[in-house]
Amino acid sequence: MSVHVTVISRKSCVQCNATYRALDGLGIEYRIVDVDELHEGAADELRALGFLQLPVVKVDGAGAWSGFRPDLIDGIEVAA
């Protein structure tokens, strides 16, 4: 079983690009979702959930966080 990672981001987001590089460096596959291409109000919904910055990284079975968090990225377990 593989881990599913979704990165909700925005173009020209420095922390988003750092997150992509960290995931790529660990060989972790992920899906990018541009917050500006989601429905109107999506950014407000994320803020209401406590995600105050981009990217929002969602890992199936392991929760979610916002911002560039190399400590949490390093903790993503990938099936061999």
pLDDT digits over 10-27, tens only?
Answer: 999 999 999 999 999 999
In this predicted structure, the answer to whether residue 40 has a pLDDT above a threshold of 90 is: no
The parent domain of residue 59 ranges over 5-74
Residue 46 resides in a domain: yes
Give the chain as a DSSP string: ----EEEEE-TT-HHHHHHHHHHHHTT---EEEEGGGS-TTHHHHHHHTT--SSPEEEETTTEEEES--HHHHHT-----
- Count of structural domains within the chain: 1
Residue 80 lies in a domain: no
- Asked whether residue 6 carries a pLDDT value surpassing 50, the answer given is yes
Give per-residue pLDDT as tens, 62-73.
899 999 999 999
**Predicted local distance difference test score (pLDDT) of residue 61:** 81
The predicted pLDDT at position 43 comes to 86
